[in-house]
Chains A and B, each alone.
Chain A
């Protein structure tokens, strides 16, 4: 993610608001434009016209946080804010994005934040809307991504005008998602809302980043601002928290262990939030000549670098058994790196370490600052020899300096020899990747290697951004493409909640739009079917995005599990397509996309047709359109 630039509202900008001109407003983040609504000049007399609704002030608070977009499916419990965005805010900063499902809103915000490095706002009904959004919020939570969730609600029973408002009201809005957000509040006054909104932003953007929720009470939104209340309204000053860094002594000890190691190996999870983060990890790896296993949960390390450690294997489970010191940086499920289970014990509890005797583990992570109890995303307990609580990207500069101090000339020579061996192994793996990619080159369904190679050939000279996960296609883009910039890969869903892919891609493409990047989404078919309406959102808001279907016509992961379990008990896997295959009829994704207003082609089944179709599609995307190519593919 890019670092969030924090700007400060000028007095002139703030002074245009009637109630704010008296308010002694402090600082706020990232607001580039002044409000567009009817604004009074400083020094004006008391107004005689209609007073303003509370939602106008709420919007000013939100605008002060530099929120660019608000994704929402319309809901009456936040209609006040909706109206204020349009008429008080001029539908800019934030601009309203029309979504057809709240899950799309949250997943769009998820994808957007991983490119832009700051939260998008979403608005949801306090009951049904939040219920719709909840899985996507969980994904963002597991993926350590900030989202500003505004939930409408009508707390005052006397203010509910009918059955719809009773069934859409709740005592404790955040209760249903509190296990997987970082912070929430239910403000009962506008002053309270302002303070909590600024706090929410700050909490969300302090590593580990996470979603936060603020309730916008209906009465607070829709009732006019009281004359007395108006005098006291102000937006609190926002100062971003410096990311937590690891303890100085512990960092020094980590450097000593790494420099003394014969074969240190780095596992990178969600390390880099920016290009700077990639450069820091690169510097550390090169200093140590240490292999880096990137879990591909963020774009952490250049894939073509000689020290890139897993060019041909599953990124989540590389072989680290040769390490004598393992450094986990914001790693996810590190225990699974250091242990294996036998096939029998896959269904049991037994496991064994794959680390060699005496090997030591160092962890650096901020996630330990935000462990919750109920959901188990924290993974199995890691028996680290040195555990450093702190944000990895923020801790890397100190670790690099300590490594430099600890490096003697003898160690430098040993490290240089080690690096040559890693580079040789890396080159061999890359050569093997190309040979493996040639298998099934002319096959139909089209091989995922061929699909990846065809796309790469046409995007490699563009300023491109792949915003989809590639494990479901045997990680061929990771194995064949040259990733080097932080926005060229954004990892995965976090919580393995399907339905993330398409809306997250639309959100990421929206963030890429102003930078003129070519955004590519290799879209699994099953994932698209959860909430395909976000295709219309992309078309409606003219978000350029190249969607290329990885249409293998099944939920293959689940189908493989059914086959596996059946065979274990001597049952034939022949029925494993029941409940898992998406055939009979085949889904016509080109027609689906066309129906939502996109240019589309497909189904493409002959690999020879793929290149020209991609070329035509890119031409449309460069004109500012989302497009979809339906490509029928091999399972993985």
Chain B
């Protein structure tokens, strides 16, 4: 718990300095290197192994909080030694770049 708190406090200070400085290109590299796509899919579409990231309604702060303290699931906590606050910002920038899907009713194969 102490480690988590220290990490959270450190993270808050770092984010406060650069609240919107996510690097999309680096986020893309991290998305693969940190194996995010394994559970969440290459486009963040999610699946039964991981939550949907595409079109997320989370803001950066909530996104970082989930990474640091995930809800009960197979998602482990990603603390500062694994993902810095800057890297989380980069990942968030990349996740936000996923294109919006076509409405399902416009895809013939998904019509009811």
Contacts and interface: CB of A to CB of B under 8 A. Distances in A.
Interface residues of A, number: 48
B41 A570 contact: no
B45 A436 contact: yes
A439 B46 contact: yes
Contact of A635 (B38, B76, B79): B38
Interface pairs A-B: 10 shortest CB-CB = A474-B47, A439-B45, A440-B43, A567-B76, A440-B45, A438-B101, A636-B47, A434-B104, A453-B109, A570-B81
Contacts of B33: 574
Contact of A340 (B34, B72, B102, B105): B72
A343 B39 CA distance: 16
A471 interface: yes
A448 B43 CA distance: 12
A568 B55 CA distance: 27
B43 to A, nearest CB: 4
A568 B104 contact: no
Interface in B27-46: 33-35, 37-39, 41-46
A560 B35 CA distance: 8
A126 to B, nearest CB: 42
A434 B47 contact: no
B73 interface: yes
Interface residues of chain B: helix, strand, loop or mixed (majority): loop
A353 to B, nearest CB: 14
Contacts of B50: 636
25 contacts: A314-B48, A343-B75, A343-B77, A435-B103, A440-B42, A441-B107, A443-B41, A445-B42, A450-B109, A453-B110, A471-B48, A556-B49, A560-B39, A560-B74, A567-B77, A567-B82, A570-B82, A571-B81, A571-B82, A572-B82, A576-B38, A634-B37, A635-B37, A635-B42, A635-B47
A559 interface: yes
Interface string A445-468: 101111001101100000000000
A429 interface: no
Nearest to A554: B38
Contacts of B54: 439-440
A564 interface: yes
Given A340-B72, A571-B82, A636-B39, A313 B49 contact: no
Interface string A519-562: 00000000000000000000000000000000000001001100
Given A448-B47, A571-B82, A572-B82, A440 B41 contact: yes
A30 B55 CA distance: 58
B70 interface: yes
A303 interface: no
Contacts of A480: 110
Nearest to A480: B110
Nearest to A634: B41
B29 to A, nearest CB: 11
Contact of B101 (A441, A471, A560, A567): A441
Contact of A439 (B38, B39, B52, B76): B52
Contact of B104 (A340, A438, A471, A572): A438
